[in-house]
Amino acid sequence: MNETKKDFTVEFLKLIGHSARLKIFDLLKEGEKTSSVIENKLGRAQSTISEHLNKLVDNNLITFERRGNTKYYKIRDMEIINLIGRIKSMANEINKAKFKDIRDVDVKDTLSIKK
């Protein structure tokens, strides 16, 4: 993989991997939302939510429609939700295996303690 593609992949994963943006995706997968609704649901400041929404819009992951003075945000392509779901599943499986290994070591350590 050439360096440009690697850089793009790293930046893309950083973009979708931010916890606030993952929460925004979770909210938007239910349907379009205004920034006010997103702010209230996430309990974050308007400026913070605006920054995250702008990054997602600038990178063509979400779109918005202006109705009067209000912007309604929605996911551009629901495939991003499928991708995030696959990443979460993989992360959960890795964590399960990691914790199982830790438990196994703890059990062995406990059993090997000499009295």
Question: How confident is the model over 86-100, as a mean pLDDT?
Answer: 86
Question: How confident is the model over 9-27, as a mean pLDDT?
Answer: 95
Q: Tell me: domain 1-77, CATH 1.10.10.10, correct?
A: yes
Name residue 75's amino acid: I
pLDDT in tens, 21-78: 999 999 999 999 999 999 999 999 999 999 999 999 999 999 999 999 999 999 999 9
Please work out, in degrees rounded to the nearest 5, the angle formed at the alpha carbon of residue 75 by the alpha carbons of 12 and 69. 115
In the chain, DSSP finds a helix count (H) and a strand count (E) of 5, 3
- DSSP, residue by residue, 50-106: HHHHHHHHHTTSEEEEEETTEEEEEES-THHHHHHHHHHHHHHHHHHHHHHHHHHHH
pLDDT for 112 equals: 66
Question: pLDDT class for 114, splitting at 50, 70, 90?
Answer: low
